[in-house]
Structure 1
Amino acid sequence: MLGILRADPALVADRPGQTMIGDKNYFGAGFETELADAGVRLLRPARKGEAERVGSGLFKPLRQTIESINQTLKAQLDLERHSGRTAAGVTVRVLQRLLALTAAIWHNDKTGAPVRRSLTAYDH
C-alpha cells in the first residue's frame, strides 16, 4: 500500500481525508504513522492481543459484500479468463462485462424477472 502511495502521490493529495480499509495484516507503528502523515486513516480489524479498533463492527458485513461481488465477477462474468493481452485490453473486457451485467439487471428489473442478477436468459 505504501509503495502505491509513493508511486502516485496524487492518490492522496487529490483526495484529502481518505479512509482506507485493510485486513489485519496491514499493521505496524511505522506503517500507520506513515499513513497518518499522508493524511490517510486506516480501518482494519484488531490483531490478536490488540485492543478493539474503531469501525470493527463494519468488517464482517463488508467482507461478505466484497466476497459476493468478487464471486459475481469471477464466476458469472468469467473474469478469470478475460483473454486480455494488455492492461487496456483487460480493462475493456472487464468494463464491457460490467456494463452487460448492469444492462441485464436493469432489463430484468423492468420486465419483472424473478432473478435480477441473472444472465442465464441471455446466454445462448
Structure 2
Amino acid sequence: MGPTRKGEPERPGAELFKPLRQVIESVNETFKGQLDLEQHHGRTPAGVVARIMQRVLTLTTAIWHNDQSGQPVLRSLTAYDH
C-alpha cells in the first residue's frame, strides 16, 4: 500500500500503518546494514535461510545482552564487530 496521491482522501487504517511502516523500514535497514543480508553468500535456498537466521539470532542476542547490561543503544552490534 503506497502513499495516497495528492487530492485523494487518506486510506482507511493509514494512521495505524504509518508508525508500523517506520518500524519495518528501520528493521530492514538494520538487517541490510549491520547484518550484511545483501551479501549473504548462500548458495542454496536452505543456505540463504541458515545464514540469515544466524544473523537474526546474533542481533537478537546482542539486543538482549545490551538490554541486560544497561547499554544505551540496544540494536547496535558495533561493540561486537571485529
TM-score w.r.t. structure 2 length?
Answer: 0.85
CA distance, structure 2, for counterparts of residue 57 and residue 88 of structure 1: 38
Partner of 1:55: 13
1:1-124 equivalence runs, <5 A: 23-24=1-2, 46-47=4-5, 50-124=8-82
- Structure 2 CA distance for partners of 1:92 and 1:49, relative to 1, 3 Å: same
How many residues were matched structurally?
A: 82
* Greater radius of gyration (CA): 1
- Report the secondary structure of 2:24's partner residue: helix
4+ residue segments displaced more than 6 Å:
none
CA distance, structure 1, for counterparts of residue 62 and residue 9 of structure 2: 45
Identity between Structure 1 and Structure 2 (%): 68
TM-score w.r.t. structure 1 length?
Answer: 0.58
1:69 is matched by which residue type in structure 2? V
Runs (5+) with no aligned partner, structure 1: 1-22, 25-44
Runs (5+) with no aligned partner, structure 2: none
Q: Which structure shows the higher strand fraction?
A: 1
Question: Greater RCO between the two (CA within 8 Å, min separation 6)?
Answer: 2
Q: Output one character per residue of 1:46-82: Cα deviation in whole Å (capped at 9) or x when no partner.
A: 4556544320212321221111011000001110100
